[in-house]
Structure 1
Amino acid sequence: MVFRCPVKNAIDDGPSSAVVRLFRQRFDNCDPQWLIRCPGRVNLIGEHIDYSDYSVLPMAIEHSTWIAVGPSPERTVQLVNEEEEKYPPFTLAIPDSFSGASSNGAVPKWHHYFLAGWRGILESLAQREGVNTEAEALQRAKGMRAVVASRIPPSAGLSSSSALVCAAALATLCVQSADFGGGDGGGQQIFEHISKKELAEITTHAERFVGLEGGGMDQACECLARRGEALRIDFRPLGWRAVQLPENALFAVLHSNTEMNKTASAYYNQRVVECRIAAQVIAKQSGCLPADTDWRSVRTLRQVAALLGKDGHPEQMLTLVDEHLAKRCQRQQQQKLADGIHTREEICAILDCSDAQLAQWSLNANTQNMTEFWLAKRARHVYAEAARVLEFERVCREGREDNGTVAKLGELMNASHLSCAQLFECSCPELDQTVANCLSAGCIGARLTGAGWGGCAVALVDKNKSAQLEANGLNVLFWSEPCEGIEVFAFSG
């Protein structure tokens, strides 16, 4: 939905005030034509399983990224951030190749996230028009001016980077589509060009331009969320449905006081690769592949579960993880399972491939030098976490408005954090301590949220006891209930 309003209606005490005023200051006292708001998100359960094609259960939060945007008379993309000292202004003369708009393997700066969304929309529109070359797509690019302000804490696991990519993509769509803005009702056609679902898919792919091979949870939540409801988001195909949380449930977000730049680190992409290889090894060793395919066609742990007839029952895959991935060791005269490392050479032997073939079909650009892989631990987390998502939704759907319902949800969140810490190894001492502090203060359940390795934890509390918990010393960054997804406001002057 597009909201049409006078520019003056955006001037209030909130972040929209900051971007509109700064837009005027920096761009010759011109008004922006559109204002974009994209929320952050907190994942309630289902961590690191979206890129294995398993469902997740996040909600959008009030803290958002805002972009004021308008066309430019020049063929440039002029970007200004409210925090100019931390995020310097950037101007891009529209090039004839997208390589001029990317970080080209270096640690991306803030404007690269904006330009990732910009590129995603330009490529999508070009494909729809039958344009097949970068040069032709960029010839159609219009100049634009944008001011960005964000209230989402960065590197906190609340999807600040994805919110910027999504907001930038929608801002670009507004500028590129000539029938937006001008004339009464023109703005109502915005999602007739690209739907919110398509926007989520475009921006999921666009984040690869900044080196992140994510699964799409962040973009789907930020684009599709509705106020008052969490979302169960499914992948391949992308789908979603509302999940009504218990009336007495409230969520606290707490910062661990340590940050993690997941794109600058190889950890995230290493986990993607470990999950992919785990799926390929299970497929190869279980003999589930059709006669006309081989292990190279397997990309996700859910895919191999479907081949084995266990799609929808991820918990049934745990015994197969033990059978095909867990190494064995002798302890006290008994044979026991151990979560040992698979070396690169061992994986090549299992898959009957060369090292070059493994690099081509299983690794990604950031993991070419990996030599050791924790396959069993990663797969065990994914299948158990996928089962917890289904159980979380079932409890919400069937539960009563009583303490028993939220207690069960809390148990699932606690189990999720333990799995993230011990099996997926995406926590850190500061996050573990934050979760422990939540539980000792009286929270019902708590877990890391987001990629991990720093950032934030989310805790489930009884809405009627929030003041008491803060009195107990719980240092809450903010309280949140489910918020609306991405929005665009078209100004009429």
Structure 2
Amino acid sequence: MSGEECVTLYKQKFGLNPEWLIRCPGRVNLIGEHIDYSNYPVLPMAIEDSTWVAAGIATTNNNQTKEIRLENANSRYNSFTLEIGNSFSNSSANGKSPQWYHYFFAGWRGALERLYGNENENKVLEKAKGMFILVGSKIPPSAGLSMCSCSCHSLCSNWTSKDLAEFATKAERFVGMEGGGMDQACECLAERGSALLIDFAPLRFRPVTLPSNALFAVIHSGKECNKGADSQYNQRVVECRLAAQMIAKKAGLDLSEEFREKFRSIFSIRTLRDIAELVERVERPGEMMELVQHLKSKNPEGIFTRKEICELLGCSDEDLAKYSLNSNTQDMQTFSLGKRAEHVYSEAARVLEFERICKSQDKDALEKLAELMNASHKSCANLFACSCPELDATVQKCLDSGCLAARLTGAGWGGCVVALVDKANKKAVEESGLNVIFWSEPCEGIEAFSFEEFTKNKNL
């Protein structure tokens, strides 16, 4: 859906023009999967295909109303109306699988709390105005291209890009997600013509110029994914957290003076990067494999039961549940820690190598990048277990069709594959019968327009 089409449909739905339009690009992660919530850098790019949001103050017969009415251009998504009351509870999923509109309300709630954070809930909601909202997109639903994250941060697009990215990451947790911030950072900070290397400790970024002959194709696997509806995503967050805590304990790092200076307890360790910082290897993640071996002393996959983890950490089951687990993992009994840590550290090394190759401008840069992307997918499938048969088959089809590399992009367990293609070979790939949703080079990030500005620019 284009911005012009969004305006037309808004007028049909609500009987008046919108006051604002926001374009939120989709994104594909080129490399660096499932490592943002371990605070390691990732390397995504924004894409041309976007989600458009048209919005205005809710008005009926020229009178403002205290309701938020959301409509979606895609008929598969039900409309939703929220009467603004005295509690945020009716705007959240309340432990159930989140629907599309819950992502919008996550951003709405986060924005209100940021604007009026010192006031109680009743007073905050008294100040909230009703809105008419229309969301439209050409991005396939549940494709792993961050359509829902777009909804979460479209509300506050007059903030600085960095502030908006940080806000949106926190706000998405109102739908129960412990994401690392890659989606929001890419959509807010992207620059046309460059991918972004995004770091999270603290949030900072730098553009990465890709080889001039690099082109990317996005192909749907045929299986939808919804990271908010599936506990597997949050399970991986917890497994990475536990892996870090267990490495600290089994390697004896918790006995060091440096540990005592940085952390109050073993539960203060939250990410695998915390361990790398402790041993001063943040810029050399590949060297962390030596410490990962401590997780594999019992079995080659580094699998631990809940009871074993409690015994090794020297904690009660209640403390483990309170300080290390999340709401989606309270009943988990078995945790795969060795493979998860191995993926995170090896993937972090691939991200840094990807950037280095792009800077080198070597003649065979495209082939070297392809090797890294292919290795990334194998790691996602074999170590992180976030692929699925449909994704693996799509990756193989891409390679058979002449693509240099292909890997899952997004949370996994369905959704899309991103494939690297030499521009000179685009026609041959198209003629192979590969069902490409769209081709893309790096695009700019989020844009916000007043209705007057938008109509002037588009000559409507």
1:306 counterpart SS class: helix
1:291 counterpart SS class: helix
Equivalent residue for 1:69? Answer: 55
2:260 counterpart SS class: coil
Letter of the structure 2 residue corresponding to residue 90 of structure 1: F
CA deviation profile, 1:95-135 (whole Å, cap 9, x unmatched): 212112101011111111111111111111113xxx24222
Alignment pair present for 1:434 and 2:394 = yes
Alignment pair present for 1:204 and 2:187 = no
Q: How far apart are 1:446 and its partner, in Å? A: 1.0
Equivalent residue for 1:15? Answer: 2
Q: How far apart are 1:145 and its partner, in Å? A: 1.1
Letter of the structure 2 residue corresponding to residue 273 of structure 1: V
Equivalent residue for 2:354? Answer: 392
State how far apart, in whole Å, the 2-side matches of 1:264 and 1:148 are: 20
CA deviation profile, 1:178-206 (whole Å, cap 9, x unmatched): xxxxxxxxxxxx3xxx2111111111111
Q: How far apart are 1:285 and its partner, in Å? A: 2.4
Question: Alignment length, in residue pairs?
Answer: 442
State how far apart, in whole Å, the 1-side matches of 2:10 and 2:434 are: 38
Equivalent residue for 2:458? Answer: none
Stretch of structure 1 that moved more, 472-481 or 246-255: 472-481
Q: How far apart are 1:17 and its partner, in Å? A: 2.2
CA deviation profile, 1:388-440 (whole Å, cap 9, x unmatched): 0000000001123x3x1000000000000000000000001111111111112
What is the TM-score when the length of structure 2 is the normalising length? Answer: 0.94
Q: 1:482 aligns with which of 411, 422, 442?
A: 442
State how far apart, in whole Å, the 1-side matches of 2:265 and 2:105 are: 37
Alignment pair present for 1:327 and 2:297 = yes
Letter of the structure 2 residue corresponding to residue 98 of structure 1: F
Q: 1:44 aligns with which of 30, 33, 39?
A: 30
State how far apart, in whole Å, the 2-side matches of 1:314 and 1:95 are: 49
State how far apart, in whole Å, the 2-side matches of 1:195 and 1:140 are: 23
State how far apart, in whole Å, the 2-side matches of 1:469 and 1:357 are: 54
Equivalent residue for 1:333? Answer: none
State how far apart, in whole Å, the 2-side matches of 1:316 and 1:433 are: 32
State how far apart, in whole Å, the 1-side matches of 2:432 and 2:438 are: 16
Equivalent residue for 1:468? Answer: 428
Stretch of structure 1 that moved more, 422-431 or 307-316: 307-316
Equivalent residue for 1:406? Answer: 366
State how far apart, in whole Å, the 2-side matches of 1:96 and 1:390 are: 48
Letter of the structure 2 residue corresponding to residue 409 of structure 1: L
State how far apart, in whole Å, the 1-side matches of 2:85 and 2:275 are: 42
2:318 counterpart SS class: helix
State how far apart, in whole Å, the 2-side matches of 1:429 and 1:351 are: 36
Equivalent residue for 1:139? Answer: 126
Alignment pair present for 1:278 and 2:278 = no
2:24 counterpart SS class: strand
Equivalent residue for 1:166? Answer: 153
Question: Are the structure 2 counterparts of residues 340 and 302 from structure 1 closer, same or farther at C-alpha, using a change threshold of 3 Å?
Answer: closer
Report if the CA contact (8 A) 1:327-1:339 is conserved.
Answer: no
Alignment pair present for 1:125 and 2:95 = no
Pairing of 1:302-381 with structure 2 (within 5 A): 302-322=273-293, 324-328=294-298, 338-381=300-343
CA-atom RMSD, angstroms? 1.3
Alignment pair present for 1:81 and 2:50 = no
State how far apart, in whole Å, the 1-side matches of 2:349 and 2:53 are: 38
Question: Are the structure 2 counterparts of residues 94 and 257 from structure 1 closer, same or farther at C-alpha, using a change threshold of 3 Å?
Answer: same
Stretch of structure 1 that moved more, 131-140 or 72-81: 131-140
Alignment pair present for 1:154 and 2:141 = yes
Report if the CA contact (8 A) 1:32-1:68 is conserved.
Answer: yes
State how far apart, in whole Å, the 2-side matches of 1:327 and 1:473 are: 47
CA deviation profile, 1:14-51 (whole Å, cap 9, x unmatched): 521222112212223x2111110001100000000000
Unaligned runs of 5+ residues in structure 2 are 59-63, 456-460
Identity of aligned residues (%): 58
Alignment pair present for 1:382 and 2:344 = yes
State how far apart, in whole Å, the 2-side matches of 1:147 and 1:352 are: 52
State how far apart, in whole Å, the 1-side matches of 2:298 and 2:402 are: 40
Alignment pair present for 1:299 and 2:259 = no
Report if the CA contact (8 A) 1:53-1:236 is conserved.
Answer: yes
2:307 counterpart SS class: helix
Alignment pair present for 1:266 and 2:237 = no
Alignment pair present for 1:234 and 2:199 = yes
Q: How far apart are 1:351 and its partner, in Å? A: 0.3
2:315 counterpart SS class: coil
Equivalent residue for 2:212? Answer: 247
What is the TM-score when the length of structure 1 is the normalising length? Answer: 0.88
Alignment pair present for 1:459 and 2:419 = yes
Letter of the structure 2 residue corresponding to residue 371 of structure 1: Q
Stretch of structure 1 that moved more, 417-426 or 461-470: 461-470
Q: How far apart are 1:340 and its partner, in Å? A: 3.9
Alignment pair present for 1:114 and 2:104 = yes
Q: 1:216 aligns with which of 156, 177, 181?
A: 181
Q: 1:287 aligns with which of 237, 252, 261?
A: 252
State how far apart, in whole Å, the 2-side matches of 1:205 and 1:408 are: 36
Letter of the structure 2 residue corresponding to residue 100 of structure 1: N
Letter of the structure 1 residue corresponding to residue 278 of structure 2: L
Letter of the structure 2 residue corresponding to residue 372 of structure 1: T
Report if the CA contact (8 A) 1:116-1:207 is conserved.
Answer: yes
State how far apart, in whole Å, the 2-side matches of 1:301 and 1:388 are: 16
Equivalent residue for 1:195? Answer: 160
State how far apart, in whole Å, the 2-side matches of 1:491 and 1:449 are: 34
Equivalent residue for 2:80? Answer: 90
Report if the CA contact (8 A) 1:18-1:82 is conserved.
Answer: no
Letter of the structure 2 residue corresponding to residue 67 of structure 1: V
Alignment pair present for 1:102 and 2:88 = no
Letter of the structure 1 residue corresponding to residue 167 of structure 2: I
1:36 counterpart SS class: strand
Stretch of structure 1 that moved more, 31-40 or 257-266: 257-266
Letter of the structure 2 residue corresponding to residue 294 of structure 1: S
Q: How far apart are 1:288 and its partner, in Å? A: 2.6
